[in-house]
């Protein structure tokens, strides 16, 4: 079974399960996508890392990262190894300089850690055949936009843009700092998106 490298495309609010999110992984050398339903806490942990936000207190995945670094343990790769009845199973490959160890992990946790350790994410050709979907150009374009934001669907992109469009750059930075300090990462993500949008103008 050949290994296929995956990238994290983004996260969107799940339209099918209340309080859940869809994590979208994309095939690095191909057009297939793997959608994985994950919980709100794990979605937050992944979204924070994707947005480049720094929480005032470490989240569980940040604590794991700091603990491993303190003892010189690296995460070399994450492998999504199995798909059973709609549930993905993953393994973490850890290395301390002399010994390599594989640890079972939930896929959502594994991805959150992979982003922190900046290590590659892989799956098998069998899993990509089972779970991979190919989106046509229009749906892919809409999907890519949707998956950049970490907030429920009742807050549309237009409504969020309208709220922030008249706010100065300095005020945006203040709002971002306040949201992070109060650990309101959903709001922080929205403000960060507006800052990024302006940078790309």
- For 115-171, write each residue's pLDDT tens digit: 999 999 999 999 998 888 876 544 443 444 344 444 444 444 445 556 777 788 888
Looking at 3.90.1170.50, 3.10.690.10, 3.40.50.2300, 3.50.50.60, the CATH number of the domain 3-150 comes to: 3.10.690.10
- Measured from the Cβ of residue 189, the count of other Cβ atoms closer than 10 Å reads 22
In the predicted model, residues of the chain with pLDDT beneath 70 are 1, 14-19, 135-162, 183-186, 189
Residues 87, 92, 93, 99, CA torsion sign: negative
What pLDDT score was predicted for residue 178? Answer: 81
Q: Under a CB-based contact definition with an 8 Å cutoff, are residues 121 and 7 in contact?
A: yes
CA-to-CA distance for 47 and 43, rounded, in angstroms? Answer: 6
Closest CA to 47 of 115, 98, 99, 95: 115
State the pTM of this model.
Answer: 0.72
């Amino acid at each position: 079974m050949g290994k296929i490298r995956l990238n994290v495309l983004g996260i969107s609010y799940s339209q099918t399960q209340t309080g859940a999110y869809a994590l979208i992984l994309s095939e690095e050398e191909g057009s297939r996508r793997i959608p994985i339903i994950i919980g709100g806490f794990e979605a937050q942990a992944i979204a924070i890392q994707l947005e480049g936000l720094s929480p005032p207190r470490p989240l569980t995945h940040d604590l794991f990262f700091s603990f491993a670094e303190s003892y010189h343990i690296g995460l070399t790769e994450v492998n999504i190894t199995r798909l059973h009845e709609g549930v993905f199973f993953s393994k973490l490959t850890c290395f301390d300089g002399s010994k390599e160890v594989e640890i079972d992990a939930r896929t959502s946790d594994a991805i959150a850690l992979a982003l922190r350790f900046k290590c590659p994410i892989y799956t098998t050709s069998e899993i990509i055949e089972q779970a991979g979907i190919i989106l046509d150009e229009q749906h892919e374009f809409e999907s890519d936009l949707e998956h950049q934001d970490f907030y429920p669907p009742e807050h549309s992109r237009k409504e969020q843009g309208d709220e922030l469009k008249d706010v100065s750059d300095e005020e945006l930075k203040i709002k971002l700092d306040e949201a992070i300090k109060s650990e309101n990462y959903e709001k922080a993500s929205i403000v960060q998106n507006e800052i990024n949008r302006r940078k790309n103008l």
